[in-house]
């Protein structure tokens, strides 16, 4: 395989003294191929360190997988093979750019969309030809791993302990079948037979022509190509919707012709009593795909300073922390003092983030020191806290005007914006990790930081920053909009300048390069700024400018990440965000304890939150559907969740949708309408409106009437 697939030749084979390596057949093969076979002395594993260390890594992973799935040691062989399959697709420091072994060998990045939790509950589809009319459409199984040769999931039937391979599988990653039965007493296992048609096809509807992954990964990118419907929670019956495949997909059939002996238990693994209670469900299954995407680039983001200093990206995080502390020193944010008697110092923590470019590549590593403002006391440490930000409607109007008048669009970012506000209150903070300060002696009391300038995390920090920026803009001849206090304008003769402020992100539009440059210089002189050039990506919105001056805004990058986060990246597109005639109601909310448990692991709030951000920014077409789903955040039911997934399906087929602003004659047009007692619970009506500026929509809303 090494020679055929990779064009390399094996010169030396190094193994231990295991009997499987000391036989005439292997010796003859090595002799024929010119391979030198070296053996290590007995009981000296350190002489074969690379292999032994990898064995330890795989065994540790397998041990955790067995414990999490509540499986006995007899499954160790399956767990090790599954751990190895996953390990091959994880980034490693051994290769340049932290590539995975899979990518180094094949030249393409691995697809991890098909990975599922080891040992979780699964329902494998039974082909029509292999069941009677009233037989179950699916068989209850547990996931054992992945078969790279047959391109399917390796499963064990719970009732009979038969092992087989199938691609048509539904997973419930929050449940793990009980494995209390002794596997040694099970019936023989069986494998699968593959027809030529299946071998040459691309399972799950994925396209081999457009996928960069190798065949085995491309073929297993999802447990279901249509929707991510969870299996039923009924332990005794398979899900009713498991039969969602055409007859052409019925090629994976248990043959019962080949015996598959399970690996014996390890001698060093002693038997132990295992709890028979149900394993606690994995609460965050929907984030697995997103985590895999992040891990492939920078690994898991650290949550503490210690984690950052012990991570693979320690040098990058250290530079980011040093840069943050240097900014704080230059800004004269604090003084080191002794804590006065009777006063309390608030804590602090580090927040780490990787900033991405519009194309998803890494821009920079960022570290921010944040005060623990939740421990502040009202009237002592702070008073007023409100701070405005630019409305999305205002930003869209600004972009529409930029298209109409051919204004140049630029973007700037304020570095450590919240540090520019001067505090009126006296606030003390404990010395953070990473800051080298002599902490004094116990007699004179500990040293703390007395804050002079605002700091991220303080309750009044946003307000102080907004006031500082507002004073600066007004002193430089800008006027503040009465409708939106974060929109500033300046006009001199025929020169025009607009600036929108959203926390620390600035969008600038002007028809005069001289005025644009002068404004940038003034901002650089007062604040620490990053000039990001032409506006391309801001607040999760991608901005495209054509040669004719028209502006197109969309959120395709954000939408793709959301689809991956909720396992909907391979769902079947639909043409409308709502089922025709569908009316959601409170009667669809859970009533029984079973129904409540069924919805516990569903990320309903998170999904609706992501959809809301899409809706308020660039997608007015989903406003009504999202508004209906958002009414059931407290007690969502299965039908409510299906309605949310319907919106995802609609977005899957309309990822390239956005808003287009053209250079046309100025015009304002508005539309408004309402249904009649459409809410089945209260009989309230739902109103909606939208306003277009120069043929491009800038404002919209869909909401239920109060009376």
DSSP string of 625-689, one letter each residue: HHHHHGGGSSS--HHHHHHHHHHHHHHHTTTT--EEE------EEEEEEE-SS--TTT---EEEE
Q: What is the pLDDT of residue 445?
A: 64
Q: Which residue has the tokens 């569908």?
A: 582
Does the pLDDT value for residue 678 go beyond 90?
no
Which of 172-176, 354-358, 686-690 has the weakest average pLDDT?
354-358
- Residue 601's pLDDT band (boundaries 50, 70, 90)? confident
- Residue 101's pLDDT band (boundaries 50, 70, 90)? confident
Q: What is the pLDDT of residue 331?
A: 83
Does the pLDDT value for residue 260 go beyond 60?
no
In terms of domains, do 127 and 57 share one? yes
- Mean pLDDT of the region 300-324: 88
In terms of domains, do 593 and 502 share one? no
CA distance 411 to 509: 9
Q: Classify residue 19: in a domain, yes or no.
A: no
Q: How many domains does the chain have?
A: 3
Largest CA distance in the chain: 95
Q: What is the pLDDT of residue 438?
A: 66
Q: What is the pLDDT of residue 274?
A: 42
In terms of domains, do 72 and 180 share one? yes
In terms of domains, do 534 and 562 share one? no
In terms of domains, do 557 and 527 share one? no
In terms of domains, do 143 and 253 share one? yes
Of residues 242 and 658, more confidently modeled: 658
Q: Classify residue 485: in a domain, yes or no.
A: yes
In terms of domains, do 429 and 332 share one? yes
Given 490, 506, 539, which residue is the final one in a domain? 539
Q: What is the pLDDT of residue 639?
A: 92
Q: Classify residue 229: in a domain, yes or no.
A: yes
CA distance 642 to 645: 5
Q: Highest mean pLDDT range out of 16-20, 284-288, 460-464? A: 460-464
Q: What is the pLDDT of residue 62?
A: 93
Q: Classify residue 8: in a domain, yes or no.
A: no
Chain segment 414-471, per-residue pLDDT in tens: 988 888 888 888 889 999 988 887 655 445 567 899 999 888 889 999 999 999 999 9
Q: What is the pLDDT of residue 129?
A: 84
Residues 6+ apart with CB under 8 A from 96: none
In terms of domains, do 102 and 227 share one? yes
Domain span holding position 115:
44-261+281-293
Given a contact cutoff of 8 angstroms between Cβ atoms, the answer to whether 453 and 369 are in contact is: no
Q: What is the pLDDT of residue 250?
A: 36
Residue 458 burial by Cβ neighbours in a 10 Å radius (0-12, 13-18, 19+): buried
Does the pLDDT value for residue 277 go beyond 50?
no
Does the pLDDT value for residue 82 go beyond 80?
yes
In terms of domains, do 493 and 559 share one? no
Q: What is the pLDDT of residue 488?
A: 96
Q: Provide the mean pLDDT of the chain.
A: 80
In terms of domains, do 509 and 576 share one? no
In terms of domains, do 518 and 602 share one? no
- Mean pLDDT of the region 635-642: 93
Given a contact cutoff of 8 angstroms between Cβ atoms, the answer to whether 650 and 622 are in contact is: yes
Q: What is the pLDDT of residue 301?
A: 85
Q: Classify residue 308: in a domain, yes or no.
A: no
Q: Is 145 helix (H, G, I), strand (E, B) or coil?
A: strand
- Residue 381's pLDDT band (boundaries 50, 70, 90)? confident
- Residue 188's pLDDT band (boundaries 50, 70, 90)? very low
- Mean pLDDT of the region 681-706: 91
pLDDT more than 70, % of the chain: 81
Q: Classify residue 272: in a domain, yes or no.
A: no
Does the pLDDT value for residue 75 go beyond 50?
yes
- Mean pLDDT of the region 211-238: 38
Which of 144-148, 275-279, 486-490 has the weakest average pLDDT?
275-279
CA distance 565 to 292: 10
- Residue 258's pLDDT band (boundaries 50, 70, 90)? very low
Which of 62-66, 245-249, 358-362 has the weakest average pLDDT?
245-249
Q: Classify residue 232: in a domain, yes or no.
A: yes
- The CA angle 38-41-47, to the nearest 5 degrees, is 75
Given 491, 506, 539, which residue is the final one in a domain? 539
CA distance 577 to 573: 10
Task: Report pTM.
Answer: 0.55
- Mean pLDDT of the region 85-97: 84
267-296 b/e with 16+ CB inside 10 Å = b? eeeeeeeeeeeebebbeebbbbbbebbebb
In terms of domains, do 119 and 143 share one? yes
Q: Classify residue 548: in a domain, yes or no.
A: no
Chain segment 464-516, per-residue pLDDT in tens: 999 999 999 999 999 999 999 999 999 988 899 999 999 999 999 999 999 99
Does the pLDDT value for residue 262 go beyond 70?
no
């Amino acid at each position: 395989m090494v020679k055929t697939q990779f064009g390399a030749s094996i010169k030396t084979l190094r193994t231990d003294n295991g009997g499987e390596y000391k036989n005439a057949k292997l010796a003859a093969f090595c002799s024929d191929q010119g391979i030198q076979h070296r053996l290590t002395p007995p009981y000296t594993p350190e002489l074969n360190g690379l292999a032994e260390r990898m064995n330890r890594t795989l065994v540790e992973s397998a041990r955790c997988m067995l414990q999490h799935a509540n499986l006995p040691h007899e499954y160790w062989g399956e767990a090790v093979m599954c751990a190895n399959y996953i390990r091959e697709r994880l980034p490693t420091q051994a290769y340049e750019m932290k590539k995975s072994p899979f990518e180094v060998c094949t030249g393409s990045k691995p697809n991890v969309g098909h990975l599922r939790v080891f040992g979780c509950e699964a329902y494998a589809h039974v082909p029509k030809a292999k069941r009677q009319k009233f037989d179950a459409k699916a068989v209850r199984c547990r996931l054992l791993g992945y078969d790279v040769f047959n391109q399917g999931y390796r499963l064990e039937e719970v009732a009979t302990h038969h092992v087989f391979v199938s691609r048509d599988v539904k997973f419930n990653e929050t449940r793990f079948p009980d494995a209390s039965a002794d596997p040694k007493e099970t019936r023989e296992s069986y494998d699968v037979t593959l027809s030529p048609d299946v071998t040459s096809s691309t399972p799950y509807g994925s396209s081999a022509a457009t996928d960069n992954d190798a065949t085995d990964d491309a073929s297993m990118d999802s447990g279901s190509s249509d929707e991510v419907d969870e299996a039923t929670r009924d332990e005794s019956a398979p899900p009713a919707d498991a039969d969602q495949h055409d007859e052409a997909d019925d090629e994976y059939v248990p043959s019962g012709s080949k015996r598959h002996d399970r690996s014996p238990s390890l001698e060093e693994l002693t038997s132990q009593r295992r709890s028979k209670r149900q394993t606690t469900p994995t609460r965050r299954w929907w984030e697995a795909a997103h985590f895999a995407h992040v891990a492939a680039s920078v690994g898991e983001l650290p949550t503490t300073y210690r984690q950052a200093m012990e991570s693979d990206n320690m040098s990058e995080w250290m530079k980011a922390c040093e840069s943050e502390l240097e900014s704080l020193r230059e800004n004269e944010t604090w003084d080191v003092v002794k804590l006065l008697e009777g006063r309390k110092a608030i804590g602090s923590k580090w927040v780490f983030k990787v900033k991405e470019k519009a194309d998803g590549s890494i821009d920079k590593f960022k570290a921010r020191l944040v005060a623990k403002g939740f421990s502040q006391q009202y009237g002592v440490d702070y008073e007023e806290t409100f701070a405005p930000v630019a409305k999305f409607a205002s930003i869209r109007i600004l972009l529409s005007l930029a298209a109409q008048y051919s204004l140049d669009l630029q973007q700037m970012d304020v570095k450590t914006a919240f540090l520019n506000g001067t505090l009126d209150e006296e606030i003390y903070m404990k010395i953070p990790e990473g800051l080298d300060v002599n902490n004094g002696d116990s007699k004179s009391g500990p040293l703390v930081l007395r804050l002079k300038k605002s700091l991220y995390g303080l309750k009044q920090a946003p307000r102080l920053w907004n006031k500082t920026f507002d004073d600066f803009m007004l002193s430089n001849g800008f006027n503040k909009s009465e409708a939106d206090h974060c929109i500033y304008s300046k006009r001199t003769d025929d020169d025009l300048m607009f600036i929108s402020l959203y926390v620390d992100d600035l969008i600038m539009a002007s028809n005069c390069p001289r005025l644009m440059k002068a404004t940038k210089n003034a901002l650089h002189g007062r604040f620490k700024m990053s000039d990001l050039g032409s506006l391309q990506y801001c607040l999760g919105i991608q901005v495209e400018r054509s040669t004719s001056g028209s502006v197109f805004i969309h959120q395709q990058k954000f939408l793709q990440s959301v689809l991956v986060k909720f396992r909907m990246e391979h769902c079947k597109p639909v043409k409308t965000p709502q089922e025709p005639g569908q009316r959601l109601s409170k009667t669809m909310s859970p009533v029984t304890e079973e129904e409540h448990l069924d919805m516990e692991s569903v990320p309903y709030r998170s999904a609706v939150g992501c959809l809301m951000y899409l809706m308020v920014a660039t997608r007015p077409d989903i406003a009504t559907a999202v508004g209906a789903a958002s009414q059931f955040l407290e007690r969502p039911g299965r039908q409510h969740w299906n309605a949310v997934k319907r919106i995802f399906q609609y977005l899957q087929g309309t990822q390239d949708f956005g808003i287009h602003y053209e250079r046309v004659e100025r015009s304002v047009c508005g539309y408004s309408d309402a249904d009649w007692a459409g809410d089945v619970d209260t009989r309230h009506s739902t109103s909606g409106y939208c306003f277009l500026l120069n043929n491009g929509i800038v404002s919209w809303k869909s909401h239920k009437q109060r009376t």
